[in-house]
Every structure is written in C-alpha cells, then in structure tokens.
Amino acid sequence: MTAPHVIVPIFPLPDLTFFPHTLLPLHVFEARYRAMVMDALERNRRLTVVRLQPGYEAGYAGKPPVYAVGGLGEMVSCERLANGRYNILLRGECRVRIEGELPTDTLYRMVRARRLTDGEATRDAGPALARIRASCRELLSALSRPADLLDTALAEGQAPGVIADRVAAAVLPDVDLRQQLLELLDVDARVARVADAVEVLVRELKGGRE
C-alpha cells in the first residue's frame, strides 16, 4: 500500500504545471538543484515540481511562495553533462499537497506532502471524452500537425482523469487554468473543463486565421 505522505525535495519553477501520467524533460543548471538531483539519485529518484506564485522574482534566491498542489514524479532518465548540469526526465506519479516545509541543511527545499487521489467519477465521461477527441483532431489539423500526435494521450482504455491530465499537459497553454486543473480532484469536473478549454482553443485559433 502506498504511504499517503512523502518527504520530498521541491523543484519550484515559474509557469510550469506537472501532471500525473505525463513526461517532463528538464534542464537543471542552478547549483542548488544540481545538488537536489544528485541527492535524489541516492535516495528514491523522486521530487515534486511546484509552480512559483506570482511575484516570486524578488525572493527567488530564498524561499518564495509556491502553490500548495504540485506533481510528484520519478526521475526515469538522468544525464550529467560535462559542465555539471543535468538533463533529466520525470514521469508523473501523482498530485501532492504540501503540508509543511521542513528544516534542512541542504541548498534546496524539502517538504512533507500528502498524496492526492482522484475522486470517483459519478457520470458517464463518454460524451466529454468524445468532445476532447474531436477538438484535438481539429486542433492538430488547424496547426498542420500529424494527426496521430496525441494518440497516446487520447488512447482508449485509460481512465477519464488520465486522458484529461495528458491532454491538458499537451495542449493547454493557460498556466492558471493548468494549475486549477491540477488542483481539481473531481474527475467529472476536470474532464468537462478540459473539453471546454480545448474547444475554446480551437475556436480562438480558427478565429484568428479567418
């Protein structure tokens, strides 16, 4: 049984939301986060990506505020470069809610976080998923991108919440909406919001080209 709480380092980043069931490549260059990667490799290869709250710039070198909900992921690939930097690939495992920051003598920040799980779907997600698939086809066509580009995200047999997460990560540019979707554990509401958002994106794209 998976423990509900974890002690993990956080990687605070501006305007970035890390969803479960997605892959996130990162280039790590700051000294404190290079140390974080080295230590994580010695532990369990896990860290949490959290979004910095607006106004972080003035306190970036310290401990600027971050959103409470982030994405816990495992480093499934790590390349150390000649200059000491890293290219890493994270695989999203779950949402977590930060419950407290821990005192530490490391350059990076450590937190105690609670794993979050999706609520039970209460209605048939089929119509909303059909809207998402149709809108994604329109989006790819409008952008002249390969028609199969989102096949993995849209594949049958996945839980509706997983499809919503993967589509949101792949196509939705609004960082505030992405954060809201990350915090939304109601699967019915999340799928519906993603369906609405992709339809709006397609309309905006087509409207701008008319």
Domain ranges of the chain: 5-116, 126-209
Q: How confident is the model at residue 13 (pLDDT cuts 50, 70, 90)?
A: very high
Q: Could you report the per-residue pLDDT of 149-176, keeping only the tens digit for each?
A: 999 999 999 999 999 999 999 999 999 9
Angstrom distance (rounded) from CA 170 to CA 166:
6
- Between 4 and 42, the higher pLDDT residue: 42
CATH 2.30.130.40 describes domain 5-116:
yes
Q: How confident is the model at residue 209 (pLDDT cuts 50, 70, 90)?
A: low
pLDDT at 122: 80
Average pLDDT over residues 45-50: 97
The whole model's pTM is what? 0.92
Does residue 92 contact residue 19 with C-beta atoms inside 8 Å?
A: yes
pLDDT grade, residue 2 (50/70/90)? low
Q: Where are the beta strands (DSSP E) in the chain?
A: 5-13, 23-28, 46-51, 69-80, 86-102, 110-116
The more confident residue out of 118 and 207 is: 118
> Are 10 and 48 spatial neighbours (Cβ–Cβ below 8 Å)?
yes
Report residue 31's pLDDT band, with 50, 70 and 90 as the boundaries: very high
> In the structure, what pLDDT confidence band is assigned to residue 57 with cuts at 50, 70 and 90?
confident
pLDDT confidence of residue 54 = 86
**Per-residue pLDDT averaged across 100-123, rounded?**
92
Q: Are 20 and 94 in contact (CB under 8 A)?
A: yes
pLDDT level of residue 63 (50, 70, 90 thresholds) = confident
